[in-house]
Structure 1
Amino acid sequence: MDITRGKVAKAQKVVLYGMEGIGKSSLAAQFPNPLFIDTEGSTGNMNVSRTPKPTSWTMLNQQIDEIKRDKLCKTLVIDTIDWAERMAIEKVCADAQKKSIEDFGYGTGYIKLEEELGRFLNKLQDVVDDGINVVLTAHAQIRKFEQPDEMGAYDRYELKLGKKTSARTSALVKEWADMVLFI
């Protein structure tokens, strides 16, 4: 049996989330040789390498394929995953000729979105397997959390993925990552 010990060097999968303007993109820019796919157009005042802003889910996926194929960076930064999720929703709706994710009925649209985001994370895993770090930035939202057997309630910060999709897509993104960092 072949047993190895110690650290195994590999590219990292990182989720950085926090409130608006806290410095998620600035922290992501500190990773080795970062290349930003700026889905929300917020890196204009930063001295970083970036792709053209993707206008669709298809364009975003094509950019990732090109980065993987041509090894254009050491770190791929998707800034932000919650804006990318909006593109995924538009694609899922367009494919089924629906106007809204709610139009599917019985939560089917949300399941289709989870499947689409799962395929996206698999694509990002392929990038990581090729030795490129992947950093997903995300906005945070505050949710009030109450425990029935405890006195009082408290606020909790969560990934700001769609309100109804957060139970599925937020968990999927967090489970995919090696590190989930709140700043």
Structure 2
Amino acid sequence: MAWGANSRSSSRSSFRNSPFSDFGSYMVVKNRKLQEQFNAEASSSSNSCSNSGKPLFHGVSIFVDGFTVPSSQELRGYMLKFGGRFVNYFSRHRVTHIICSNLPDSKIKNLRSFSGGLPVVKPTWVLDSVAANKLLNWVPYQLDQLASETHNQPTLSAFFALKSCAVSVDAATRLTDQMKSEAEDPLLKGGTIKGDNLS
């Protein structure tokens, strides 16, 4: 018997004995329990309101990705205190903002594909919104790596405009070169053949 084979079969049998049919159903139950815990804490904490009378982060649901300052637990506390939501496991349907400080390039690519265009902002957006006692625009707080790519990346129409412009320049250059060579060619100058008379 191979090493670890015994543990694999025991984990399979223990999963069969669990109340979950698969991992997906387990995660659904886990997320529901975490949401119920958050709701219980939120109902017992006093929500601080903004100037409009609604809680400051009303309608905002954050997911924290990676290491942040303040920590994800502190950000969770701000959401509890100011009427927002905190999601432990990313769901495009439940999250309105992704909070992170810095991500490696590979994670940026993944983030772009799974986030579906959600705002990816620094944690200072939460802190500054609390300090201003109003929900601030997230654009200035966009993650630097995404903001620089957004501004530097040309659009598809710009690519085709540059390409057609380059084709036009190439065609004009070729035509100019051809005209110069024809003008310098003694056989073609003036439309007659110069030099020795041919009989």
Greater relative CO, 1 or 2 (CA 8 Å, sep 6+): 1
Which structure has the highest helix share of the two?
2
Q: TM-score, normalised by structure 1?
A: 0.22
Which structure has the highest strand share of the two?
1
Q: TM-score, normalised by structure 2?
A: 0.21
Question: Highest CA radius of gyration, 1 or 2?
Answer: 2
